[in-house]
Amino acid sequence: MFKPRHAVLICTLLGGSVATLSVAQTSKKASTAGIASAGERAVSLAQSGHCTEALPLLKQATSLAEKDLKRSAGFAGVRCAMLADQPDAAQDFLRFLNREFPHDPEVLYLSVHTYSDLSSRAAAELATTAPKSDQGRELNAEALETQGKWDDAAKEYRLILQQNPRMPGIHFRLGRLLLSKPNPSPTVAEEAKKEMQQELDIDPSNAGAEYVLGALAQQNQQWDDAIQHFSRATKLDASFGDAFIGLGSCLGSSKRFSEAIAPLEHAVKLEPENPAPHYLLAIAYNRTGRKEDGDKQFAIQRQLTQKGAAGEDNSQTQAKPN
């Protein structure tokens, strides 16, 4: 039988539970407020230039704070880490930002400039500490190439080969440089060919060297040699779209259309927005009796070509002064 004193006891017990719950909720709110306050303080310290003190607090804020504050802490962390010359910490903050805020334009912009700054710092350190090393000379040669100083770059590459005749990649770079120079001499193709052959003697796995040899043979309509080089390039690098296009093109030029289909189908998968492999594949399909498949590829090629032309027209229009 229910008695009044039972009601008093129940109310007392419930009251205690409610009180306990209320205390827990208050404690949780206080804890959250404390975390937010600590995060805000960390960002404020960073903004006022107290980066050494701010960095450990910013790291905590990225794991505990609410979303907007985490984002602010991440940005402040990158900037403070770079100012404090802590590249590992800067990269940790960048990884956090890109994971938590993917495709965010501001995060991507910050990433571009931070990694660029890290690259510049490493290049400056290499140039200062080991300018005559193989790597120092190679970096200098690359910089000279971007400035169009072809002869100076070639000189640096040749100095590397004097120091280390078997260093992988240098003959390839030298051969590519020869082919990039404006107004090349009549002998440049043969010189580049020799460089690529020497590269493959040092590094038989260099797909780029095989590709260049294939392209040089293709220019001279030496289809069998071109096919061999392009084929080796595709075996060395299954993601090398241009090599598959070159192989399919030369097989087509040799009237070996049925053999051209497989590499061109692969090229289309690798480079679906490139009209060239669609066009070559359309021809190969038509020549092997697959007219419907060929017509589809021709249609795709036309669509991509028109799309590209429209894009060029728009860019030219936008470039015109008002």
Write out the two tokens for 235.
């075996």
Cα–Cα distance for residue pair 76/287, rounded to 1 Å: 62
DSSP string, 78-144: HHHHHHTT-HHHHHHHHHHHHHHSTT-HHHHHHHHHHHHHHHHHHHHHHHHH-TTSHHHHHHHHHHH
CA 157, CA 212: separation in Å to the nearest integer? 18
| pLDDT of res. 136 | 94
* pLDDT number for residue 281: 98
**pLDDT score recorded for residue 42:** 84
What's the confidence (pLDDT) of residue 307? Answer: 86
Per-residue pLDDT of the chain (322 residues; tens, 9 = 90+): 444 444 443 343 344 444 433 433 434 443 444 555 777 888 888 888 888 888 998 988 888 768 888 999 999 999 999 999 999 999 999 999 999 999 999 999 999 999 999 999 999 999 999 999 999 999 999 999 999 999 999 999 999 999 999 999 999 999 999 999 888 888 999 999 999 999 999 999 999 999 999 999 999 999 999 999 999 999 999 999 999 999 999 999 999 999 999 999 999 999 999 999 999 999 999 999 999 999 999 999 999 999 887 666 555 555 555 4
Q: Are 201 and 161 in contact (CB under 8 A)?
A: no
Task: Report DSSP state, residue 256.
Answer: -
Q: Is-same-fold flag (132-204; 223-307)? A: yes
From residue 207, give the alpha-carbon distance in Å to each of 7, 41, 67, 83, 98.
Answer: 86, 54, 46, 41, 33
pTM across the whole model = 0.74
Superfamily in which the 132-204 domain is placed by CATH = Tetratricopeptide repeat domain (1.25.40.10)
Domain boundary assignment for the chain: 37-104, 132-204, 223-307
Check residue 148 and give its pLDDT.
92
Tokens found for residue 239: 């993601």
Sign of the C-alpha dihedral computed for residues 305, 306, 309 and 310 taken in this order:
negative
Looking from the CA of 186 toward its CB, the CA atoms found within 13 Å total: 0
CATH class of the region 223-307: mainly alpha
Contact by Cβ (8 Å): 279, 301: yes
Q: 161 vs 135, 164, 173, 187, 294, CA distance in Å?
A: 12, 5, 12, 21, 49
Q: How far apart are CA 115 and CA 82, in angstroms?
A: 10
